[in-house]
Amino acid sequence: MSKTKLLPIFKKGLWENHPTFRQLLGMCPTLAVTTSALNGLSMGLAVMFVLVFSTFIVSLIRRLVPAQVRIAVYTIIIATFVTIADIFLKANFPQVSKDLGPYVPLIVVNCIILGRCEAFASKNTPLKSVIDALGISSGFLWGLMLLGSIREFFGSGSIFGITLLAKGFKPLIVMILPAGAFLVLGFLVSLINFIEKRMKKC
Amino acid sequence: MRTLKIILTLALTCIFSAGVLSLSDKLAEHKIKENQKKAINQAIFKMIKQAAKIQALAGKKIQIYKAFDKNGHTAGFAFIAEGSGYQGKISILCATDVSFRKLLGIEIIESMETPGLGARISEDWFKQQFRGLSVLKPITYGKKADLNNNQIQAITGATISSRSVVRIINNAMKKAEKTAKNEQN
């Protein structure tokens, strides 16, 4: 096990295997909570916490769990960490908790997490799994933040609550409505495909 | 043997999970309660404009708050109405005037309604409708808001959530009235 192998695993989640723009997984929180950059950031961090700890535990016990019940066991582990994240947010960041609402408990059914547990953590060492989880969730985090920033910029004229556009600006309400989420996501996915094609040609 | 292992694995996972959760719940319980209290106080100050001080009354079946103005006179009442909505508990804070006749406003403290549909009970236009409604007769809901008939406009696509809010408030009003009346004398 050399260190050189870990960096590619991490990098994969950031671009090549990007959960939002490449695998198009976890669309529910992606589309629903990215009405502002801050919401995207908090959702990204919550997912990072859950993903890192769940994949770590799943990888630790990967040889002990009978194959027939592995999904049930993974789900319980994921749900445990999601509930901890939910309780933590309620106690320390009540406003964030209120803004994200039911989407925090819904991380349980976020397919990115079960996907990483089943596809990676159940077959790899804890160290590799945590690196993979960090990569994927960092990718998810920048994806959500970018989406949230764009929607907040056009929909409310600000980013992270800081007003950027002059007073005469009329916000495009559609951008903070569900339709805006689909529009921005579509543009971003095509943009990323375009960049990818360009990079391959070079 | 195999079945036993499966059962054991599941049982152990659940026990472990329950342990971790009850521990973190204990750790956070106090802070969460404190936050809720803060949120309730802020909401009361927002709805009862003259309020300067809030006192929680020991209601038997319902949590009631009494608000005082700067000079120490009663400025209004607020009570917490709870009941089940479409997807779990809804907790509503209702504020009334001094004589306990009119609603000054409502605030959704806690709800688990469907995002985009039922969750719209937290939107201002929906909550505003309750302002000025009578507490003495039951509130109704319909396609249009009608202040004279004590009626609010239900949310399109979320009739159950709208109905739940109305029902929860109606149920709580009677209970709250008794406690508040005792307090007035």
Mean pLDDT of B89-103: 90
What pLDDT, on the 0 to 100 scale, is given for residue A44? 94
- Interface contact A79, partner B, CB < 8 A: yes
Structural domains of chain B, count:
1
Domain annotation covers residue B6: no
Judged by average pLDDT, the poorest of A59-73, B26-40, B167-181 is: B167-181
Residue B138 pLDDT > 80, yes or no?
A: yes
Which amino acid does the sequence have at B173?
Answer: M
Is the pLDDT reported for residue A127 higher than 90?
Answer: yes
Q: Burial, B19: exposed, middle or buried (Cβ in 10 Å; 0-12, 13-18, 19+)? A: exposed
Which pLDDT tens digit goes with each residue over A88-118?
999 999 888 888 878 899 899 999 999 999 9
User: Lowest mean pLDDT: which of A24-28, A170-174, B170-174?
Assistant: A170-174
pLDDT bin (cut points 50, 70, 90) of residue A122 is very high
Of the candidates A5, A28, A12, A197, the one whose C-alpha atom is nearest the C-alpha of residue A105 is A28
Q: What pLDDT does residue B112 have? A: 80
Mean pLDDT score, B8-17: 94
Selection from B104, B105, B108, B166 nearest residue B141 by Cα: B166
Percentage of residues in chain A with pLDDT exceeding 70? 97
The set of residues, in sequence order, having a beta carbon less than 8 Å from that of B58 and lying 6+ positions away, is none
Task: Name the least confident of A50-54, A121-125, B181-185.
Answer: B181-185
More confident residue, A40 or A172: A40
Asked if A91 lies within 8 A of B28 by C-beta distance, the reply is yes
DSSP E strands in chain A: the ranges are 158-159, 162-163
pLDDT at residue A67 greater than cutoff 80: yes
**Cβ separation B10–A90 shorter than 8 A:** no
ipTM exceeds 0.85, yes or no: no
Q: Is it the case that residue B11 has pLDDT exceeding 60?
A: yes
- Looking at residue A162, its pLDDT comes to 84
Does pLDDT of A151 surpass 70?
yes
Answer yes or no: do A64 and B9 touch at CB < 8 A: yes
Q: Are A70 and A54 in contact (CB under 8 A)?
A: no
Prediction pTM value? 0.78
Residue B4 lies in a domain: no
Q: What is the pLDDT of residue B185?
A: 53
Asked if the structure places residue B142 within a domain, the reply is yes
**What was the pLDDT predicted at B98?**
86
Neighboring chain A residues of B14 at a CB cutoff of 8 Å: 76
Q: How confident is the model at residue B182 (pLDDT cuts 50, 70, 90)?
A: confident
Judged by CB atoms closer than 8 Å, whether chains meet at A80 and B14 is answered as: no
Among chain A residues, the shortest Cα distance to B87 is held by: A102
Q: How many contacts, defined by CB atoms under 8 Å, are there between A and B?
A: 54
* Of the partner residues A68, A76, A88, the one whose CB lies closest to the CB of residue B6: A68
B36-83 pLDDT, tens digit each: 888 889 999 989 888 888 888 876 678 888 888 888 888 888 999 999
Mean pLDDT, all residues of chain A: 89
In a domain, B14, yes or no: no
Domain enclosing residue B158, as ranges: 50-184
Mean residue pLDDT of chain B comes to 87
**Other Cβ atoms closer than 10 A to B1:** 5
What is the per-residue pLDDT for A186? 94
User: Is B13 a member of any domain?
Assistant: no
pLDDT tens digits, residue range A164-187?
A: 876 777 778 788 788 899 999 999
* In-domain check, residue B72: yes
B91 in any annotated domain: yes
pLDDT, residue B184, reads 58
pLDDT at residue B60, as a whole number = 66
Q: How far apart are CA B103 and CA B47, in angstroms?
A: 10
* Residue A3 scores a pLDDT above 80: no
CB pair distance less than 8 Å for A77 and B6: no
Residue B115 lies in a domain: yes
Which residues have C-beta within 8 Å of that of residue A158, sequence separation ≥ 6?
A152, A164, A165
Could you tell me the pLDDT band of residue A4, with boundaries at 50, 70 and 90? low
Q: What is the pLDDT of residue B127?
A: 92
Residues near A191 by beta carbon (within 8 Å), at least 6 away in sequence? none
